[in-house]
Amino acid sequence: MRQVVLDTETTGLEVERGHRVLEIGAVEIIDRKNTGNHFHEYINPQRAIDSGALEVHGLTEEFLADKPVFREISERFLDFVGGAELVIHNAPFDMSFLNNELSQCEEDSLGNWNKSGGLLILEDICGVLDSLALARDLHPGQKNSLDALCRRYEVDNSGRTLHGALLDAEILAEVFLLMTGGQTQLFEINETSFDQQKSDVKGLGVSMDANALRKSEITEEEWRAHRKLLEIIEATSGQKPLWPDINP
């Protein structure tokens, strides 16, 4: 399965007020592995940048003045994302901006992606998964910004003093893989804890069967979260999870 984790930076928050995309960053994941392939472009938005947006990403009009406009990179962008499932944090925001950019492109700048003519939107050629909605399902009532998820999943984002589309896409890719089945660290912690328990028991002169079955009670909330995770893994991988689907 091919997925593209994507992020944009914009001149402001409201596409309805004519704000534009000024940076796109995207990284490729195939069968849950980051391939290292990426797409990254700075774009001349041909308009002023709101002061609030400038504080977030630090990209000035002077820096972007000699960069290509969107229509000049549109075919390469579509070649990279076409046919993939897009993973975007707060997908409706980025999708509205990208579709607005596509709507302003001449048909011949879209290459073979607009064979039928007329208006092209990304949903015509890509699937879309909103990682913010996914995080809210997994962690209801908690903060689910990218920074909050980095803290929760112990992903290093110390280099993220300003938002940058490619850096944010790379961080989101790591968080997304952990959210949708990255259980390695959890098992390592449990095994370390069990080894320590064995050591502590031996120190008391008590024998302990290392193969003894370890049981623990789970709450109804934990069970629902487990079921939700199984559904997410199946939806994102196209395969049934290896974990048994047994109601305790």
User: 40-90, pLDDT tens digit by residue?
Assistant: 999 999 999 999 999 999 999 999 999 999 999 999 999 999 999 999 999
**136 band by pLDDT with thresholds 50, 70 and 90:** very high
Task: Give the C-alpha separation, 44 to 233, whole Å.
Answer: 38
Structural domain of 147: 2-179
pLDDT in tens, 14-48: 999 999 999 999 999 999 999 999 999 999 999 99
The H or E element spanning position 10 is: strand 2-10
**In the prediction, which pLDDT does 182 show?**
55
Q: Which of 135, 160, 179 is the last residue of a domain?
A: 179
Query: Does residue 55 sit in the same domain as residue 164?
Result: yes
In a domain, 93, yes or no: yes
What one-character-per-residue DSSP string does 195-248 give?
HHHHHHHHHTT----TTSPP-----HHHHHHHHHHHHHHHHHHSS--SS-----
pTM of the model: 0.75
**b or e along 8-40 (b: 16 or more beta carbons within 10 Å of the residue's beta carbon)?**
bbbbbeebeeebbbbbbbbbbbeeeebeeebbe
Confidence of residue 160 (pLDDT cuts 50, 70, 90): confident
Among 225, 31, 30, 236, smallest CA distance to 129 is for 236
- Last residue in a domain, options 137, 160, 179: 179
Assess whether 11 and 90 both reside in one domain: yes
242 domain-assigned: no
Q: Which residues are catalytic?
A: 163
